[in-house]
Amino acid sequence: MSELKYVGSELELFGKAHNWKSYYGRILGPYLGETVLEVGAGAGLTTPYLITGRQRLWTALEPDPELAARVEEEYEARGYASRSTVICGTLDDAPEGARYSAVLYIDVLEHIEDDRAEVARAAERIEPGGRLIVLGPAHQFLFSEFDDAIGHFRRYTTGMLEALTPPGLQVERSFYLDSAGILASLGNRLLLRSSMPTPAQIQLWDRYLTQISRVLDPLLLRRLGKTAITIWHRP
């Protein structure tokens, strides 16, 4: 099992980044299919922006017992309980032999030291026609005290993610989001050097910069941004 350098202190801060989650959720949603495995579900605050009426089973993996309990509470409150399963554990704890139409790593893979081994094992869980989707922080030159404080081993480029492609999967799409957010990350990296953004900073980014990115990203052909996304497909 890959080592998981896991710190959940950022979950509350980013849990209220509604505009950002809605933005990438609308892009990723069409790729998910009927059965989804979400690895590292945190407090369950991202799932509502991804789940649609198409899913008949959503399986959430979360290694922290307290957070896993919160995921169950969140799913119950939102009416997901009848079509969801919450497991306290990592990929190795997913039901043996189960295959999924999509396996998700949303801001998770950067917390895992041996990301190549993790992606290879995730590929084994994908059914024919299914997808592996990874979303994570982009560009190592933006690595800051904040990344270190919340347990990131690295930040990615799309090239780095594509280099992880395991046997049996093909890169379907690889791109960046949040071009305007690079300014905020650079400011923290070079000026503020903060180990944790304030709620006001998160609100500023989510309310204003995310909206700017929604306009800029397509104009830039999604080749620039502080978030990298790669989608693999099993033929």
> Within a domain: residue 167?
yes
Worst-scoring range by mean pLDDT, 7-11, 70-74, 82-86, 106-110?
A: 7-11
Reduce the DSSP state of residue 178 to 3 states and report it.
coil
pLDDT given at position 110: 97
Which pair of tokens denotes residue 196? 């944790």
**Helices (runs of H) and strands (runs of E) counted in the chain:** 9, 7
* pLDDT tier, 1 (very low <50, low <70, confident <90, very high otherwise): very low
Tokens of 158: 């799309």
The answer to whether residue 3 sits within a structural domain is no
Contact 60, 87 (CB under 8 A): yes
Angle, CA of 4, 104 and 31, to the nearest 5°: 165
In a domain, 212, yes or no: yes
Residue 1 lies in a domain: no
Q: Six-digit token pair at 115?
A: 């990301």
pLDDT attached to residue 123: 98
Q: What is the CATH number of the domain that holds 59?
A: 3.40.50.150
pTM, to two decimals = 0.94
Percent of the chain with pLDDT over 90: 80
In percent, the amount of the chain with pLDDT more than 70 equals 92
Q: Give 25's pLDDT tier (boundaries 50, 70, 90).
A: very high
Question: CA of 52: how far to CAs of 10, 19, 28, 80, 83, in Å?
Answer: 25, 17, 11, 11, 11
* Cα–Cα–Cα angle for 129, 21, 212, rounded to 5 degrees: 115
CB 55 within 8 A of CB 34: yes
115 pLDDT higher than 90: yes
Q: How many domains does the chain have?
A: 1
> Given this model, what pLDDT does residue 163 score?
99
Confidence of residue 12 (pLDDT cuts 50, 70, 90): confident
Are the CB atoms for 77 and 47 separated by under 8 Å?
no
Q: At what angle do helices 210-219 and 18-28 cross, to 10 degrees?
A: 30
Assigned domain for 5 exists:
no
Pick 58 or 145 by higher pLDDT.
Answer: 58
In a domain, 4, yes or no: no
Domain that holds residue 161: 10-233
Average pLDDT score, the chain: 92
